[in-house]
Structure 1
Amino acid sequence: MNSSRQRVDISRVASIAALAIALLIVALLLWRTWQSAQFSAGIFGYPFQVDESEGMIAAETLLLDQGQNIYNFPGPQQFVAAPYPPLYYLLNLPLIHFTGYSLKVGRTLTILSTLAAAALLFALVKLATRRRLAAIIAALAFLASSLTAFWGAIVKPDLPAMAFALLGLYLVALSIVGQQGGPPPAPTNAGSVPVQHRDPNSQFTIHNSTFAALAVAAFALAMLTKQTSVAAAGAGFVVLLFSDWRRGLKAIGLYVAIVGGVSLLLDGQTAGGYFWHIVTVHTLPWNFDRLVSYVQTIWSVNWPLILMGALGLIVAIASAIRGTSQRIRFNGETGKTDVGAQFIAPVPPIPNQGVIYHAPTEPNQGVINHAPTNIQNSKLAFMLLLYALAAVVQASGVGTLGGVHNHFLDALSALCIGFGLLLGWLLDRANDVGSALPLRVAGLIGLCVAAVLVWLLIGAEYDPHDLNAYQFRLPSAAQLEGMSNIAQFATNNGGPLYSDNVSIVLSAHQRLRSTDPYTQTHASSPAIHPNPADRWDERQLVADIRAGKFALIILAPSDPCKGGGGEVSPAIAAAVCDSYKLIQRNVEYIYQPR
């Protein structure tokens, strides 16, 4: 009797300790999330672009609102970059139509998408672990990240595309996990019945094929928001093929039909211009050293999350594989279940107990009637691992000329999923009343190590001298004052304006000669595009500069006469040097005709 009571006391202490450590991790991540939110708020209120894509997207949305097809081949009087599929522009268009030029429209859309992505990470981890606390930690880890704080608050399609992609991944997960909260449907003479998802409070039933079809739509929306958003779709389609190859092929065919149909339609309407914008002009050199440089920057701050996320994904797949050889008794019969069922989908909590308390397996009851079958658990773990691997491959795009660390966003979300899986597994180990005391102690130690790593994660800062990390620093008060003075100077001048900062031109309400001067420079380069048909002809713009047709030229700080000129081409820099004089050095340099 005393021995039994002692075991209960030890179990209670272990559970309370596990809960306390997990709540400490939540508190640490909440504090960092608050800091990230303040950073994002600072970006939201900054009236000028913090990334060249912001001004570009705002400008091209305005052109769409004026009836211009931004995917036509650009003529000599105006360079238009249009590097993204149409959906993000169209989502911005209704509000831009009423507000006119405003970066806050796109920033609001991105922030809402960031919150949606975090909610979907929560849903995925909760589905995989059945632990709300682990799911909360995964979502907070995503929101707390400096990557999310910056890219989740600017005018950029990455986070909207990610939200669609994660929605697709979640829908695929629902289609393979099976019926929730009840025993599997009995097979018929014709074979197994289709898996159904039933709300216990209603008569509404959803077949897994419906989830798969909805997932295809979500993946297609992601691709039509940003053309490189393929990691989640790739993982989802592979698992659908393994689950049911006929259904998988149908899903892939539908996806190709939607994305391919829209792309071919736009390309046909623009006589090949859409393909030129999306592919040709943005086919740029790739450099391994650039990739390594950015990886080192991200690793320097995020290594604790990288280690924990990778470990969580490894544990998930190992648990699922190991479970194929485990058998338990359920309903008086012998059947297979996943050892990882306590990890991937453990027994629901006992009523009126905390989320980390789980009911022990009763004799003749088993977990099979509360959790997906072994093969479904294996597919879920496999899909999440595939997503992570595909995200790593996708991140290699940072080595492309002009690539920056937004390429790591899918890898970040995959690591946050892995982190949530790891926390769910450790909580299960610490709370497993059927395990020996050393195993429960090991679970508690693992949670303590995770808390220490989270502490190191939230305290890490980027090297202030690391040029790869400049986006993670808010514009200073001096920068804001300087940009405001320049914009006011340009507005008061009232004459034609050319600048490599599109937000200045838009603020001054001047006609745009280029929506993306950075891409324009590469698009006109014979070294990058040796085929003249692939290049944009900059000769008219250079001639106009030499003729002094711009009342002001505003460029990033550098000396065009010494080979500089910010992000403009050598021909434009030479024309500015020959025909213009520097009249003001500020956060940007201002030139007037000689």
Structure 2
Amino acid sequence: MRATPVVALLRWVRLERVWARLALWLLLPALLCGWWALGRGVAYARLGLAYAAPLDGQEGMALWEASLLRSGAPLYQPPHPERFVSAPYPPLHPLLLAVLGEHGSHVFLMGRLLSLAAVLLIALVGGLLAHQVTRSRWAGATSAVLLLSFVPLQLWALRIKPDPLGLALTVLGLWLVARWEAGRGLSHTLILAALAFTLAHFTKQTLLAGPLAAATYLWLHDRRLALRWTALTLALVGASWLTLDLVTHGQYTYHIWILHKLPWYAHRFWKLAAQLRDAWPLMVLGLIGLGVCWRRPTVINAYLLWAPASLIGAGVTGSHHNHLLETGIALALAGGQAAGLGLTRGGVLRLVAPVLIATQLLVWRAPLPWFAGEFSPDPQYTRYIEFIRATPGEVLADDVGLLYAAGRALRYDDPAAQGPAAALGLWDQQRLVSEIRAGHFSAIILPIDVFADGIDDPADRWTPEMLAALREAYAIKFRDSLIIYAPKGSF
């Protein structure tokens, strides 16, 4: 006897419930596969907060420039041969560092706490975003686990840089856009989103994928609204920019867009971009999610399409794996979205999402070789700080965080920018070169052996003129993980 339509429907409903429960039972152990990656992140956070030496070469620059603001000195100063104040970022992050101050002798603690709090906010709001898009709490939990397991984000959670704060504001803006309801016009949530993206831009000027994703999402729903919202965002950015330029007499634009016009190299771009190769399971999930949501686009999918544009910065001189952060965050959000869509809509994602999420978390159990050593910084790195404290006179160092931790003022606060700026004729290096040649510095601490390796710095941080003067006037005093030079005849 053939089943009636009602009986067939009941059987289908029961089968759907079985599949939904099976999908959830698969997702739970999949998330447990993140135990090792999450444990590594927690261990590194504890280590990084206690570590009283630089974890990144620009931490000293960030803290020094925050101290300039605390003392009432301008941040965006005109170029001067006797000093180099880099100020490569907008003012929000250094302002917050200036307000937070420092914690006793551990000068890095407050700045690292700010970055860690920003990363935790990314995980929290990223989870809310995935939940908002899919209406699944498990989507939110999945996104949070994936975000906190992402290796570069674990590292940059403990570095004093503007990226974590700027990305937290970006994810906050995306969540506010996702809360917008079609047909409501320019609601207060969209106005707050525009404000969040503006703050993100004035934290780090290259964070453009978020507002572009928001504008794309709105364009697909209401073109007139998208244009109005874009005009509002541009007005907020433009007015803030004009104000900064007026206050700094044009130095804000000069520092952000001219002084730091760094050379771009394809080989460096591919070398860094290749470090995302272990995120292939999330890439597959992201592509499936784009197909599943083709008729009902989401702001997460729009962000996934725009975020890889941020990788272009990986090719500039002095770039680091912070340029991988935005793409990795977009992939983690797409992974959470895929899990939620599988639970709420069914289809291929119901079984594929848990399998790929488990695979991804197991792949991230061990970081790629590029990152692995950074989870175990030199436990005796403070020996250089003690050396600087015990050395009279002015000391020059490639890692300016060592100088700042030793209580020294920084006349040249960013070798990563001053070398290219000098090579491009944007800053006059002659005063520094003459000081090196005259043996002015009682010690110079670099990672380069100018006698064995020559005067061509592969990182382009120190110009050939600087290194030639060093080779002429200095000799190696100590050879360690860094090389300490002293004036010839002084020891």
Corresponding position of 2:421 = 523
- TM-score of the aligned structures, taking structure 1 as reference length: 0.75
Secondary structure of the 2:160 match is coil
Match of 1:427 in 2: 343
Q: How does 1:480-495 map to 2 (within 5 A)?
A: 480-481=379-380, 483-495=381-393
Within the candidate set 362, 367, 374, 1:461 is matched to 367
* Aligned-partner SS, 2:34: helix
* Matched-pair contact (CA < 8 Å) for 2:212–2:306: yes
How far the C-alpha of 1:424 sits from its partner, in A, is 1.8
The answer for the alignment partner of 2:176 in structure 1 is 171
The answer to whether structure 1 residue 450 and structure 2 residue 356 are counterparts is: yes
Pair 1:29–1:208, CA change in 2 (3 A): farther
* Contact 1:21/1:447 (8 A) holds in 2: no
How far apart are the structure 1 equivalents of 2:99 and 2:135? 40
**Letter matched to residue 475 of structure 2:** K
- Select between 166-175 and 139-148 the one with higher mean Cα deviation: 166-175
Indicate if the aligned counterparts of 1:25 and 1:137 stay in contact, CA closer than 8 A. no
Which of 467, 472, 488 is the equivalent residue of 1:578? 472
Secondary structure of 2:80's counterpart equals coil
Task: Please tell me the residue identity of whatever aligns with 2:363.
Answer: L
Match of 1:313 among 290, 293, 297: 290
Note closer, same or farther for the CA distance 1:249–1:568 as it changes in structure 2 (3 Å cut): same
Partner amino acid for 2:334? G
Give the aligned CA root-mean-square deviation in angstroms.
2.6
> What is the CA-CA distance between 1:524 and the residue it aligns to?
0.3
- Asked if 1:474 is matched to 2:380, the reply is no
TM-score calculated relative to the size of structure 2: 0.90
Whether the aligned pair in 2 keeps the contact of 1:55 and 1:502 (CA below 8 Å) is yes
1:402 maps to 2:318 = yes
Query: 1:214 corresponds to which letter in structure 2?
Result: L
Using the alignment, how far apart are the partners of 1:159 and 1:270 within structure 2? 26
> SS at 1:553's partner residue?
strand
Q: Tell me the number of residue pairs that the alignment of Structure 1 and Structure 2 aligns.
A: 479
Q: Does 1:540 align with 2:431?
A: yes
What SS is found at the alignment partner of 1:459? coil
Deviations 1:70-116 (A, max 9, x none): 21113122101111000011111112267587222111111111111
Query: What are the superposed Cα offsets for residues 173-198 of structure 1, whole Å, 9 maximum, x if unpaired?
Result: 212x35xxxxxxxxxxxxxxx63xxx
Contact kept? 1:303, 1:457, Cα under 8 Å? no
Shift of 1:560: 5.0
Q: Is the contact made by 2:133 and 2:298 (CA closer than 8 Å) also made in structure 1?
A: no
CA distance in 1, matches of 2:243, 2:373: 39
Q: Deviations over 1:558-577 (max 9, x none)?
A: 22572256732211111111
User: For residue 392 of structure 1, what is the aligned residue in structure 2?
Assistant: 308
- Contact 2:20/2:350, CA 8 A, preserved across alignment: no
CA shift in 2, pair 1:541/1:311, >3 Å: same
Q: CA deviation at 1:12?
A: 5.5
Aligned-partner SS, 2:33: helix
- Give the whole-Å Cα distance in 2 for the aligned partners of 1:254 and 1:457: 42
Task: Give the corresponding residue for 2:80.
Answer: 75
Residue 288 of structure 1: CA displacement? 2.4
* Counterpart position of 1:287: 265
Give the AA of the match of 2:404.
Answer: L
1:543-582 to 2 correspondence within 5 Å?
Answer: 543-559=434-450, 562-563=454-455, 567-582=461-476
Say whether 1:129 aligns with 2:144.
no
Distance 1:280 1:260 in 2: 18
Task: Give, in whole Å, the separation in 1 of the partners of 2:432 and 2:14.
Answer: 80
1:224 and 2:202 aligned:
yes
Counterpart of 2:355, as a letter, is V
CA shift in 2, pair 1:314/1:154, >3 Å: farther
Q: CA deviation at 1:233?
A: 0.5
Distance 1:101 1:444 in 2: 49
Relative contact order higher in (CA < 8 Å, ≥ 6 apart): 2
Superposition pairs for residues 90-169 of structure 1, below 5 Å?
Answer: 90-96=95-101, 102-169=107-174
Residues 60 and 403 of structure 2 are in contact (CA less than 8 Å); yes or no, is this contact kept in structure 1?
A: no
Question: What are the equivalent positions in structure 2 for 1:33-432 lying under 5 Å apart?
Answer: 33-96=38-101, 102-175=107-180, 177-178=181-182, 195=184, 209-299=187-277, 301-317=278-294, 321=295, 378=296, 381-428=297-344
Per-residue deviation, 1:13: 4.5
**Any idea what SS the aligned residue of 1:592 has?**
strand
Gaps of 5+ in 1: 179-193, 196-206, 322-377, 431-438, 464-468
In structure 2, do the counterparts of structure 1 residues 568 and 279 end up closer, same or farther at CA, with 3 Å as the change threshold? same
Change over 3 Å in CA distance of 1:308–1:224 after alignment to 2:
same
Shift, 1:462, TM fit: 1.1
Letter in 2 for 1:586: D
Change (3 A) 1:585 1:80: same
Cα 1:511–1:448 shift into 2, 3 Å? closer
Letter in 2 for 1:166: V
Kindly provide the amino acid, as one letter, of the partner of residue 516 in structure 1. D
Bigger mean CA offset, 137-146 vs 544-553: 544-553
Task: Indicate the larger mover: 508-517 or 111-120.
Answer: 508-517
Structure 2 residue matching 1:524: 3-state secondary structure: helix
Distance 1:142 1:34, change over 3 A: same
The residue type equivalent to 2:141 in the other structure is: I
- Other structure's SS at 1:590 match: strand
Which one-letter code corresponds to 2:388 in the other structure? A
Distance, in Å, in 2 between the alignment partners of 1:574 and 1:215 is 51
Q: What are the Cα deviations for residues 422-472 of structure 1, in whole angstroms up to 9, with x where unaligned? A: 112222355xxxxxxxx6xx6664255325523542334313xxxxx2576
> Aligned equivalents of 1:459 and 1:591: distance in 2?
41
- Whose Rg is larger? 1
Asked whether the 8 Å contact 2:112–2:159 carries over to 1, the reply is yes
Decide whether the 8 Å contact of 2:52 with 2:106 is kept in 1: no
Identity of aligned residues (%): 30
CA distance in 1, matches of 2:153, 2:403: 28
